[in-house]
């Protein structure tokens, strides 16, 4: 049975992992006959968003690992414990947490950097030539992990794509139900909720991504 490491970035589209994307990913992994383990960095979130009002909480702070445990039903490990030799594939769902907690693309798109633990884990898979899947805004991480010229997609948003391309991503426009495969680096990307207007739309691309990235392993 192939084993997948999934990196989460909290719980909630506006300040953590996109919950639908994360759950659809875990479901797709199981449906493909593989197993998964969730990981998250043990760090404070960039900020906390009230998902009912969309407002930033001025008094609340939350931990990315603790919040990720909500999605993983408590079964999540500190990212520092991730060992690449134990897994065949890496998958990173999106949500603003990927752009606020795993890196700071949402805060400084012109000069963004990636969390050191996330970088170490993702580069370990890249150096081991193990496949990886990134969805939604998570492909913003790719040019900080892989060499210049890595192929990927965040959908069809030219402005966002150009900001990531400035770091070295070769962006491919892609519709919600499709994927972009960089065979040279064994990286698969899909737009998910960068374009999806429903869970069914998001699932179409996510299912393809999971199937494709497992096939590369």
Q: Which residues are catalytic?
A: 136
Q: Hunting for tokens 């680096």 — which residue is that?
A: 185
Does residue 124 come out as left (phi exceeding 0), alpha (psi in the -120 to 50 range) or beta?
A: alpha
Which is nearest to 92 in space by CA: 133, 120, 150? Answer: 133
> Beta strand 151-152 with 132-135: parallel, antiparallel or unpaired?
unpaired
**Sign (positive/negative) of CA torsion 53, 57, 62, 64?**
positive
* Cβ-contact 180, 164 below 8 angstroms: no
Residues contacting 87, CB < 8 A, separation 6+: 3, 4, 5, 37, 125, 130
């Amino acid at each position: 049975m192939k084993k997948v490491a999934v990196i989460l970035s909290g719980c909630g589209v506006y300040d953590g992992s996109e919950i639908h994307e994360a759950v659809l990913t875990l479901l797709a992994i199981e449906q493909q006959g593989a197993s998964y383990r969730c990981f998250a960095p043990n760090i404070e979130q960039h900020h906390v968003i009230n998902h009912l009002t969309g407002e930033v909480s001025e008094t609340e702070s939350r931990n990315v690992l603790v919040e990720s445990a909500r999605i993983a039903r408590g079964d999540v490990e500190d990212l520092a414990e991730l060992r690449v030799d134990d897994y065949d594939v890496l998958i990173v769902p999106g949500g603003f947490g990927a752009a606020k907690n795993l890196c700071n693309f949402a805060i400084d798109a012109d000069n963004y950097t990636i969390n050191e633990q996330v970088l170490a884990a993702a580069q370990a898979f890249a150096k081991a030539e193990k496949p990886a899947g990134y969805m939604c805004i998570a492909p913003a991480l790719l040019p900080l992990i892989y060499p210049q010229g890595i192929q990927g997609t965040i959908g069809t948003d030219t402005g966002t794509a150009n900001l990531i391309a400035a770091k070295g991503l070769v962006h491919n426009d892609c519709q919600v139900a499709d994927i972009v495969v960089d065979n040279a680096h064994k990286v698969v990307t899909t737009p998910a909720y960068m374009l999806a207007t429903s869970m069914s739309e998001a699932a179409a691309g996510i299912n393809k991504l999971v199937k494709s990235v497992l096939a590369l392993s």
